Amino acid sequence: MFVRIAAAALASISVASCAAQPQAQAASKTAENVSDGSAWSPYPGASKDAEFLKATPAEFLPFVKACNPWDEWDKPAPPFKIHGNTYYVGTCGIGAILIVGDDGHVLIDTGTRKGAEVVAANIRTLGFKLEDVAVILHSHEHYDHVGGFAWMREQTGAEILASPEAAKVLESGVAAAEDPQFEMHEPMAPVTVANIVEGGDVVTGGSISLTPVRTPGHSPGALSWQWKSCEGDVCLNIVYADSLSPVSRNDYKFSEHPEYLAAYEAGLERLARVDCDILITPHPSHSRLLKRMRNDTMVEPTACAYYAIGKFQDLEKRLKKESAEPDAE
């Protein structure tokens, strides 16, 4: 059985002195746009010929050939092993992670209601049973990542754990009014949350132990997740880091919500110092997944720090834009 163990809060550090990242793109104004305000821009070149793919490990080739840098939310993708007991089971456009344990499995995110069917099929393709999924966790509480929770709960019987803010959204099926993207996402089927997790807690069961990192900003209840996965003698820290891009509806200004902004920045600081050998994100292109697969550079110990810095720059650019906008009359 999986349990939540409270842990001490993490101290914060500053990331302001770290090296600069690529220029951020303009923040999207609609939730459906695949460009999600990320500084990790799509890389040039989409060739999939043999010469271009020669550095890609064989286990990643099916995914690389099937998917594009910025892809559709529900487009089926072949599953693959990330490392050890950790597998990617999401679509081409939306991530979902399966962590296999000896006392039940953990699933992080389901995608949309339709995408959840792709996730379920991928779990079966890997040879695992849906009924062995014991816990479902979330990144952030938007439809494109958790819209399939209710359906997946019915298929698996798993318990759902959520942050306090995300729990309210999951149980109501409607985004919170304080969410910068309020009314930008479809409503979803409500689902019961079995337990609340806070940043710094540990979710543990059998051979699996995950630590949530509180990273609000893209949504109020967003969590990033860190765990250790071993393959033989090689143990790596894997991080599923939330989107963290400053996307909002047209009438929302982050600068007018100082408490929310402070929590946003604190989450980026926490993420920047998490032990992180492999970075995965809910939108694969935010962590340049296809590029890293094609170049055989999935293991990148600085990835979380640089990802957080890039998102910090996105936020700074957004605040600068807000300061230049005239106040509404």
Q: Over the chain (329 residues), what is each successive 10-residue block's mean pLDDT?
A: 57 29 31 38 54 85 91 96 98 97 96 98 98 97 97 98 98 96 94 93 90 97 97 97 95 97 98 97 93 92 95 96 76
Q: What is the pLDDT of residue 327?
A: 64
pLDDT given at position 97: 98
Least Cα distance to 77 among 86, 69, 66, 87 occurs for 66
pLDDT at 188: 97
Cβ proximity of 184 and 27 under 8 Å: no
Looking at the domain assignment, is residue 328 inside a domain?
no
* Cβ neighbours of residue 94 closer than 8 Å, sequence gap 6 or more: 73, 74, 109, 111, 112, 115, 144, 145, 282, 283
What are the structure tokens assigned to 104, written together?
């039940």
The pLDDT score that the predictor gives to residue 214 is 97
> Is 329 a domain residue?
no
Its domain, for residue 190, covers 3-323
pLDDT score for 48: 66
- The pTM of the whole model exceeds 0.85: yes
Angle between helices 113-125 and 149-156 (to 10 degrees): 40
Question: What pLDDT sits at residue 109?
Answer: 98
- Nearby residues of 51 by Cβ (< 8 Å), 6 or more positions away: none
In CATH, what number is assigned to the domain containing residue 114? 3.60.15.10
Please give the tally of structural domains in the chain.
1
User: What integer pLDDT is reported at residue 245 of this predicted model?
Assistant: 95
